[in-house]
Amino acid sequence: MFQRTKYWPDALSTYLDRVSEYRFDWGAVKADSHDCATFICGAIKAQTGVDITADFAGKYTSWKEAGKWLIDNGYRSFYDCANQRLGESVHASQARRGDIVGRQANGRFYLGVCVGKFSYFLDDNRLVPWPSMDCDACWRIG
């Protein structure tokens, strides 16, 4: 589905360094903010050059509005949206650096980026590591 560029490892590292201090903002349209959807889309763009945020960035400003956007666009859940946009998920044990991972916690589904043994997820206004093997799903990038 996605083709990684020749220099994707450096591009991904640069992206993660740049956004590590961004603040959380639903629908993130400001240059120094992100939510988990725009965060993972930025990681995909860094690796492939493909921007998949056009139809959702800035379309919601809360968890409730994000849920409404999902329903209005024919998705049953955040997981369903990821499967339709990123391809069918595989088991998290297959995650490699740069792949997108997901995990269920606190009644919600979160998306992050695998960097190897750990994956980065958003927690308030910072990136936090989570064991990649403890994730619930993986979407292969490239």
Interval 120-136: pLDDT, tens: 998 877 899 999 999 99
Q: Say what the pLDDT of residue 107 is.
A: 87
Is residue 17 in some structural domain?
yes
Q: Domain with 34 in it: what CATH number?
A: 3.90.1720.10
1 inside domain: no
Task: For residue 50, tell me if it sits in a domain.
Answer: yes
Residue 19 covered by a domain: yes
Does 2 map to a domain? no
In the chain, the number of structural domains is: 1
Domain contains 61? yes
The string of pLDDT tens digits covering residues 32-71 is 889 899 999 999 999 999 999 888 888 999 989 999 999 9
Q: Is 3 a member of any domain?
A: no
The pTM is what? 0.93
Q: Show the domain range for 34.
A: 8-139
**Per residue, what are the HEC states of the chain?**
CCCCCCCHHHHHHHHHHHHCCCEECCCCCCCCEECHHHHHHHHHHHHHCCCCCCCCCCCCCCHHHHHHHHHHCCCCCHHHHHHHHHCCCECHHHCCCCCEEEEEECCEEEEEEECCCEEEEEECCEEEEEEHHHCCEEECCC
Q: What is the rounded average pLDDT of the residues 75-81?
A: 93
In a domain, 28, yes or no: yes
